[in-house]
Structure 1
Amino acid sequence: MAGVTATLTTEGLTQTIAKLSRLEGFQMAELADDAGAILESSTRRRFDTKTAPDGADWAPWSESYDDTRNHDVHSLLIEEGDLRDSIASYSTGTEAHVGSNLVYAAHQHFGGDETGSGVPARPYLGVSAEDELDLHDLVTTRLEDLMQ
């Protein structure tokens, strides 16, 4: 299968999840699904901000490639919007996955090229500091709701 996916797992939290599962109404699958939705949304926003999850700016186009682009229509990693629009999330109960199934998705994320064109990495998948805060807020709010 072509494409690229980032996975947020609950590895190391087995005992904690087991204890939380005793709370009436706690649904780990629902929490994982909501976490995936948060990460899907932030991943799509990176196509607007042109920044990696660590906050670094994406590498610009090479000068020669930049000269071929219509700047009213094209921007980094957006020609028709297919890559950004292909970003999707799904969960498997205790994991949230975010990625794209497009053939060139990994190539754009990690960079590199067998033909020697030297396409730089422009990471769009991952968890940013803001994502961590949003995920923390999600879990905290969910637990507060359950304890009322």
Structure 2
Amino acid sequence: MIEIRIDDAAVRAKLTELMRRGMDLTPAMRKAAGIMADAVEENFDQEGRPKWPSLAAATIKARAKTGNWPGKILQRSGSLAASITRSSDAHQAMAGTNKVYAAIQHFGGKAGRGHKVTIPARPFMKLEEDDMAKIVKMFEEYLTK
């Protein structure tokens, strides 16, 4: 399973302050998980932020032959994008996928029979600075309730 984990000082500071006040973070964590999942969806929609590497010519040819081209990168069937889940409780917020092939698509590497095919990294399970800012702002608003 691939998960998004936030290790950001600003977010941790807000969480520490909320916990210090004894606040129930369940609603805020639910919103944070939603922001994370929305960010991943945006990565799929925009084909990366920044843009992912293009598909290999052989991949484009194979997809065209099966009627799956033109199309979006990492969305031949849509099952990877559809597999993104969110979960949360009072102490954590997560977005992730349970697709076995997600890691090779996200991190890149050697794949296929004999690991002869190089798949470039196309990081879809990531947050951009503006996504982090949304999470910080949401916790700030929750803190001032």
Same-fold call, TM cutoff 0.5: yes
Task: Name the CA shift for 1:57/1:15 in 2 (closer, same or farther; >3 Å).
Answer: closer
Residue identity matched to 1:59: P
The percentage of counterpart residues that share the same residue type is 23
Contact residue 15 and residue 139 of structure 2 kept, 8 A: no
Q: Does 1:64 align with 2:58?
A: yes
**Alpha-carbon distance, 1:127 to partner:** 1.9
Counterpart residue number, 2:37: 40
- The aligned residue for residue 103 of structure 1 is 100
Structure 2 segments unaligned to the other structure (5+ residues):
none
Q: Does 2:125 correspond to 1:128?
A: no
* Aligned mates of 1:4, 1:128 — CA distance in 2: 17
Q: How far apart, in 1, do the equivalents of 2:99 and 2:19 lie?
A: 36
Q: How does 1:2-81 map to 2 (within 5 A)?
A: 3-8=1-6, 15-21=16-22, 26-51=23-48, 55-69=49-63, 70-72=68-70, 74-81=71-78
Aligned length: 135
Higher share of residues assigned helix = 2
After TM superposition, the score normalised by the length of structure 2 is 0.81
Kept in 2, the 8 Å contact 1:7–1:95? The answer is: no
Amino acid at match of 2:45: D
Name the counterpart of 1:142.
142
CA drift at 1:78? 0.2
In structure 2, distance between residues paired with 1:134 and 1:17: 17
CA distance in 1 between counterparts of 2:15 and 2:33 reads 19
Q: CA 1:56–1:14 in structure 2 vs 1: closer, same or farther (change >3 Å)?
A: closer
Structure 1 residue 13, shift from structure 2 partner: 6.5
- TM-score, with length taken from structure 1: 0.80
